[in-house]
Each structure stands twice: as C-alpha cells, then as structure tokens.
Amino acid sequence: MDFEWPDQPQKSDEFERELKQAMERRPAPPSLKGRIMQQRSRRRSERHHTSIMWWQRLAASLLVGAVVAGGFGWRQMEERRRGEEAKQQVLTALRITNQVLNNMNRKLAEHDRSDNGK
C-alpha cells in the first residue's frame, strides 16, 4: 500500500502521513442532502410531466394520422364509388345506344323488306 519513496523514506513517510491527515474527508454541507433530494423530486416530477406530455403528443399525432389516413381512405373509396357509378352510367348509355341501334337496324331491315316487296 505504501508508496515507494526510495531517496528519503523516513521523510517521505512523514510527508505522506501529513498529507493523509490533511486529506481526510470533509463533512458535506448540512443542506447538501436536502438539496439533492429536492432536485431529485423536482426532476422526477419534470420527467413525469415530460412523459405525460410525450404520451399526449403521441396520442395527438396518432389521432391526426388516423384522421388523415381516414380522410385519404374515404377519398379513395369515394373516387372508386364515383368511378363505378360513371362506369355503370356508361354501360347503361351503351346498352341504350345498342338498343336504339338494334331498333333502327330492325326498322331499316323492315323498310328494306317492304321496298323489295313492292
């Protein structure tokens, strides 16, 4: 344990003894522990509030995300529905056109037959 001091061992021992005596632990200020405990509880409560705020922010972000995603989904569904509706309308129009053309075709055919009969 003793540190080597080859040149003057006795004087060194004396010096180390003085040094050891001079460097005894000092008592901490009486208020130190109280301040530590106070700061600790303040930091804990800050951390608690920060944690609550973090969760609130997370919840708000999730809500906003859900609203945006919902809006986007709703818009896509709406567009698809409108597309389907337009498609059905086009098909109906085509069916009507087809029917009209068939009728016209049939009438023309009848007209041709009556012309040939004369």
Partner 1 sequence: MAQRWQPDFEQLADEHQSMVFSLAWRMTGDRGLAEEVAQDVFLELDRHMERIESPEHALNWLRRVAVSRSADALRRRRVRGVDLWVEIEEKHGVPTEERQSPLETRLEQLLSTLPEAQRAALVLRYQEDLTPEEIAATVDAPLATVKSNLHRGLKLLRAKATTHLKEYVRGL
Query: For residue 2, what are the contacts with CB-CB under 8 A and spacing of at least 6?
Result: 13, 16
Q: Is 49 in the site for partner 1 (CB under 8 A)?
A: no
Residue for token pair 């344990």: 1
Scanning 9-17, 78-86, 87-95, 108-116 for contacts with partner 1 by CB under 8 A, the matching segment is 9-17
Chosen residue from 24, 114, 115, 117 binding partner 1 by CB under 8 A? 24
Sign of CA dihedral 71, 77, 80, 82: negative
Q: Is 5 in the site for partner 1 (CB under 8 A)?
A: yes
Chosen residue from 9, 13, 37, 85 binding partner 1 by CB under 8 A? 37
Question: Looking at beta carbons only, is 7 or 115 nearer to partner 1?
Answer: 7
Sign of CA dihedral 33, 34, 36, 37: positive
Chosen residue from 9, 35, 107, 110 binding partner 1 by CB under 8 A? 35
Q: Footprint of partner 1 on this chain (CB under 8 A)?
A: 1, 3-5, 11-12, 14-16, 18-29, 32-33, 35-37, 39-40, 43
